[in-house]
Amino acid sequence: MRREALTIALLLPLLVAPGCAPIQAPPQRVGLPAVEPVFGENVPLITLILWHAKDLPLTPDQVRILQALRTDFQREADLQTAELQRIELDLQRLLSRQEVDLVQVEARVRRVEAIRTNLRLSRIKTVERAKATLTPEQRQKLQPLIRGGP
């Protein structure tokens, strides 16, 4: 059961990751090594925007708002993911019984899907709020970064 919970925890971000962009290494900072993108991986859009704060250029208020959006979303996603794991473990317990209570199983499955839906919608809404903090010029500069270009 622990392995299944771990698998769910590791795969869940992939299932609920709309609003992610291909990893784009942050700009080189003096004295710090660059983060190397990993082929085929994605990075959350807000993180990508913050990595390129100077390239876009973001105001201090925009940085503060984007960081708050990211932090608030992550906090809520962590809570929802923990709840999802708890329900999945409970579901496995129900399914391992000799006689399966289909009413309880159905309730758990519906709750799991509701949480996944809420997570996905929350991510989409957060990304849209983040994009709304950018000026039209900043959004235009962001497009090549999303596509993985210079």
Tens of each residue's pLDDT in the chain, 150 residues: 555 554 555 445 544 454 554 444 444 444 444 444 444 457 889 998 999 999 899 999 999 999 999 999 999 999 999 999 999 999 999 999 999 999 999 999 999 999 999 999 999 999 999 999 999 999 999 888 887 755
The pLDDT score that the predictor gives to residue 44 is: 87
pLDDT tens column, 79-96: 999 999 999 999 999 999
Task: Provide the mean pLDDT of the chain.
Answer: 80
Q: Is the pTM of this model over 0.75?
A: no
- Name the residue ranges covered by the structural domains of the chain: 2-28+36-146
**Cβ proximity of 116 and 85 under 8 Å:** no
Composition of the chain by helix, strand, coil, percent to 5: 65, 5, 30
Tokens (6 digits) for 28: 């080189």
Measured in Å, how far apart are the chain's first and last C-alpha atoms?
44
User: The CATH number of 2-28+36-146 is which of 3.30.1240, 2.40.160, 1.10.3470, 1.20.120?
Assistant: 1.20.120
**Cβ proximity of 80 and 119 under 8 Å:** yes
Q: Give residue for tokens 């809570």.
A: 79
Backbone angles phi, psi at 24, to 5 degrees: -125, 120
